[in-house]
Structure 1
Amino acid sequence: MSGKIRRSFGNRSRKSHFGFGVASWNLLFHILVVLLVDGSESRKMSEKYNNYLQLPINNDEIKKGVCQRDPSQMIFFTLKDMKLGQKIPIYFPKKDPSSSPHLLARYEASSIPFSSKELPNLLNFFSFSQDSPQAKAVESTLSLCEIEPIKGETKFCATSLESMLDFVRGAFGLEESFSVVTTTFLTKSSTTFQNYTIFDVPKEILAPKMVACHTMPYPYAVYYCHYQESENKVYKISLGGENGDKVEAVAVCHMDTSHWSRDHVSFRVLRIKPGTFPVCHFFPADHLVWVPTPSTK
């Protein structure tokens, strides 16, 4: 089995996933820092990962009146922004789904160690040099998967579809049916950062509980899945980009931010203080939000 898996995740996996995954990882990191870490620990994590995960910024995308900072931070907004006709600068990483790794079957995933203790063996298994960006991404993914959850949070890193569904089923209950919602691009475009206008009334997805699953940089598909006891709201929002893009976006609003650190990137982007407004953020197209069904108003 190990020989078969090694052949399956050779040069193609390293090129297709890690080659364009830096921007997506930077975006994911901003989200996870907001949701997982407080205070000085968030600064330590930010310094550690930003040392080697630098987002290549296209100067043409940093437009006057939109943003003069790292575009990947522009995923946050507040509930008061969620109205018909509102213009919001948003960063949506563009990825070719055909080149992204797929979830393994459970029997395949279980045959590969998924632990920081096995990092040297894993780097050898995937033929990554110790100081390579790929190796550092593998290390950081394992570290985030192993970090203790915050109070009120339940988390799990899914390395197979079966394990993801088991986690979601455990969150909602064995008798509850559920479905998944994702951000969908209705037009093809290479533009990752631009002003979008809300062109339809946002629709709340009725979800007393939600499970968010974020893609992680790894040679095969790994999803960081988690849910919290605090109140969150899920929305579908129809967006029109200034270059003609159309997006059916999924967004989550965290209703209570009073316990978040003042250093959270969302507060700097939105220029607000903890606890003053709910903080919302958009999901990239390859991230998943699981909700009970029926769910849409």
Structure 2
Amino acid sequence: MITEYGKDLHKEKYDLPHEHDMNDHLSLQVDTKRGNDGHIEIMGKHMDDEVHEPLRDNDKDDHKRLPKMHVHAHPSMHMDPALNVFFTVDDLQIGKSMPIYFPQKGPSTTPRLLLREEADSIPFSSTQLPYLLEFFSFPKESPQAKGMGYTLGQCELKPTEGETKFCATSFESLLDFARSLFGLDTRLNVLTTTPLRNSTILLQNYTIVEVKENSAPKKLACHTMPYPYAIFYCHGQEIRVDRLYEVSLDGENGETVQAAAICHMDTSQWDRHHVSFRVLRVEPGSCVCHFFSPDTIIWVPAMAV
């Protein structure tokens, strides 16, 4: 359950209770009134994180270009290790091993999620970028400035046909958008990838030990974006065209990860230069799957889990 709106929510992390068993190992029971024991942190992406993909002016559609933590490459391709998250639906077999990159997230690198009153007092528009850079004391050519410009630009892109998208700048706006999409009376679950606990090895071989498809007719994935405070880029399809999975993985070093993953069954509208096509050696229109980073949350109706 999400705790009540108000002062109790105004802290550097916002805690959501969660359940942890093998049948529901990634789910969070969510409503808007009260909380119980257990928690998961809603986190933002730190401004010092690199934006791994090129910031191209001709991008028409953000969901065709996944943020940093959603890209993958085989080591032989001499790409950034963080690109090791893509796979095909045929790879979802128990016993299958593959190299996967999971970033290690922690409180020291996490911007806080603002309350609406705070967020609404700060402009969130590319037209206000010069003011914002001065406000946050970032030099114009700094990585932080480029990250802010990237985030503002992506948030201002129009959704494609059949897509729902929204950039949440506060805790309340994140929750309100999810509830407006699914209905005010719908109980929600949040699926996540469990963060690494004992390992500093971000890229290693993992073996699939369990696969569970989530039957949600509608879903909303919210990715953190580079910004001085937590921004969630949320998007989903109005009809069910993707497949959502919960995957249990055993790492070579003994690390176990309960991962959320999605398979995009139709990529015909994606940018034909999307890195996933090159990584998987497939053509636009082919199925493309990827694991979610631990700082991504996926909202689904509770009945679907």
Does the alignment reach a TM-score above 0.5?
yes
Confirm or deny that 1:216 pairs with 2:225: yes
Confirm or deny that 1:295 pairs with 2:304: yes
1:84 to 76, 88, 94: 94
Report the Cα offset of residue 34 of structure 1.
11
After TM superposition, the structure 1 = structure 2 runs for residues 137-216 of structure 1, keeping only pairs within 5 Å, are 137-185=147-195, 187-200=197-210, 202-216=211-225
In structure 1, the partner of 2:294 is 285
- Distance change (3 Å), C-alpha of 1:129 and 1:186: closer
Confirm or deny that 1:36 pairs with 2:59: no
| Residues 187, 246 of structure 1: 8 Å contact kept | no
With the length of structure 1 as denominator, give the TM-score of the two structures: 0.78
- Aligned-partner Cα distance in 2 for 1:28–1:211: 25
Report the Cα offset of residue 164 of structure 1.
0.7
- Aligned-partner Cα distance in 2 for 1:121–1:212: 30
In structure 2, the partner of 1:58 is none
- Aligned-partner Cα distance in 2 for 1:229–1:183: 24
- Aligned-partner Cα distance in 2 for 1:138–1:215: 12
Q: CA RMSD in A?
A: 2.9
In structure 2, the partner of 1:18 is 47
Point out 4+ residue stretches in structure 1 off by more than 4 angstroms: none
Unaligned runs of 5+ residues in structure 1 are: 1-7, 9-15, 56-61
- Aligned-partner Cα distance in 2 for 1:137–1:120: 13
Report the Cα offset of residue 35 of structure 1.
6.4
- Distance change (3 Å), C-alpha of 1:27 and 1:212: farther
After TM superposition, the structure 1 = structure 2 runs for residues 82-121 of structure 1, keeping only pairs within 5 Å, are 82-121=92-131
Report the Cα offset of residue 245 of structure 1.
1.8
| Residues 216, 222 of structure 1: 8 Å contact kept | yes
Report the Cα offset of residue 67 of structure 1.
5.3
Which range moved further: 143-152 or 156-165?
Answer: 143-152
Residue type of the alignment partner of 1:215: T
- Aligned-partner Cα distance in 2 for 1:132–1:34: 25
| Residues 153, 229 of structure 1: 8 Å contact kept | yes
In structure 2, the partner of 1:226 is 235
Residues 76-123 of structure 1 show CA distances to partners (whole Å, capped at 9, x for unaligned) of 111110010101211111121343012111111011111111111111
- Aligned-partner Cα distance in 2 for 1:216–1:121: 19
- Aligned-partner Cα distance in 1 for 2:46–2:296: 15
| Residues 27, 72 of structure 1: 8 Å contact kept | no
Residues 210-246 of structure 1 show CA distances to partners (whole Å, capped at 9, x for unaligned) of 0010000111000001111351111110111122221
SS at match of 1:194: strand
Comparing both structures, which one devotes a greater share of its residues to helix?
1
Confirm or deny that 1:244 pairs with 2:270: no
Unaligned runs of 5+ residues in structure 2 are: 1-11, 13-44
Instruction: Work out the percentage of aligned pairs sharing the same amino acid.
Output: 52
In structure 2, the partner of 1:3 is none
- Aligned-partner Cα distance in 1 for 2:158–2:60: 15
